[in-house]
Amino acid sequence: MTAEQAGRAPTGYDASAYPPFAVTVDLAVFTIREGALSALLVQRGSDPYAGHWALPGGFIDPDEDAATAAKRELAEETSLGETVHLEQLKTYSTPDRDPRMRVVSIAYVVLAPNLAEPRAGSDAAAARWWTIEDLLDEDGPRLAFDHAEILRDALERVRSKLEYTTLAAQFVTEPFTLAELRSVYAAVWGVAPDLGNFRRKVLSTDGFVIPTEQRGNSSGGPRPLLFRRGPATALQPAMLRPS
């Protein structure tokens, strides 16, 4: 077995011949609060970009993989301990994206329903939810590093995945009504899908939702049936965003 195969540096390897290099994780965390799609930002407590808002994240430790680092950073910087949907988004490797050294970031999308108020960890001065509308406004906060680009990419990932997957169910707390599920599409897309088409699509897709024997509250008329998430992951054909 060679030194390279064993994971050790080969004889004659000179680490000083290479510039400093690091790998980080950045987290685009989304939830729906008071009917609005919202993203989590932390305020940086130190340079670079001290005082600027940024996505939660940090350096990957030598003894962990990227997914483990993403979960650790989420807990350390925000104290969000709920079960979340975590998926890898993209790798960002522009040479000058971090002024400290060459840093490559692996970005993740995090989704969960009704996430609580975050609490800033040791690496952040503050943490709070921002509505997507406020973040996309020209008067919204200017994010550190290339985090505005990562956030836009993550938002488009979520919006597009609602078209061809059952991801919307990750934004609602079980059990839920079809009206609550439809409100997810309205919040993420900015416009609600047609009611009739939406109901037919959801109920005709085997395993999208599973009816329970419970019924929700109603201010008038029949009490709505409650559902839980089913095992299906794909919509075929897709439910396209209203133009």
The answer on 110 and 36 residing in a single domain is yes
The answer on 91 and 174 residing in a single domain is no
Residue where one domain finishes, among candidates 162, 191, 217: 162
Reply yes or no on whether the pLDDT at 77 is more than 90: no
For the whole model, what pTM was predicted? Answer: 0.87
The sign of the torsion formed by the CA atoms of 202, 204, 205, 207 equals positive
Confidence band, pLDDT 50/70/90 cuts, at residue 76: confident
Confidence band, pLDDT 50/70/90 cuts, at residue 74: confident
The answer on 90 and 41 residing in a single domain is yes
The answer on 106 and 72 residing in a single domain is yes
**Which structure tokens are listed for 193?**
């899908």
The answer on 41 and 109 residing in a single domain is yes
State the Cα–Cα distance between residues 169 and 42, nearest whole angstrom: 26
Reply yes or no on whether the pLDDT at 2 is more than 60: no
Confidence band, pLDDT 50/70/90 cuts, at residue 1: very low
Tell me the mean pLDDT in the region 10-18: 67
Mean pLDDT of all residues belonging to the chain: 89
Reply yes or no on whether the pLDDT at 68 is more than 80: yes
Return the pLDDT at 99.
Answer: 93
Judge whether 6 lies within some domain. Answer: no
Residue 216 lies in domain: 165-229
How does pLDDT run across 152-175, given as a tens digit for each residue?
A: 999 999 999 999 999 999 999 999
The answer on 142 and 105 residing in a single domain is yes
Judge whether 147 lies within some domain. Answer: yes
Return the pLDDT at 164.
Answer: 96
- Determine the residue type at 31: T
DSSP assignments along 12-58, one per residue: T--GGGS--EEEEEEEEEEEEETTEEEEEEEEE-SSSSTT-EE-SEE
CATH of the domain at 82: 3.90.79.10
Reply yes or no on whether the pLDDT at 221 is more than 80: no
Confidence band, pLDDT 50/70/90 cuts, at residue 189: very high
The answer on 121 and 25 residing in a single domain is yes
The answer on 154 and 80 residing in a single domain is yes
Return the pLDDT at 8.
Answer: 61
Return the pLDDT at 108.
Answer: 97
Residue where one domain finishes, among candidates 162, 179, 210: 162
Judge whether 240 lies within some domain. Answer: no
The answer on 152 and 63 residing in a single domain is yes
Give the residue, 32 or 75, on which the prediction is more confident. 32
Residue where one domain finishes, among candidates 120, 144, 162: 162
* Orientation angle between helical segments 178-189 and 147-164, nearest 10 degrees: 140
Return the pLDDT at 10.
Answer: 62
What is the number of domains present in the chain? Answer: 2
Judge whether 127 lies within some domain. Answer: yes
Question: How many residues are recorded in the chain?
Answer: 243
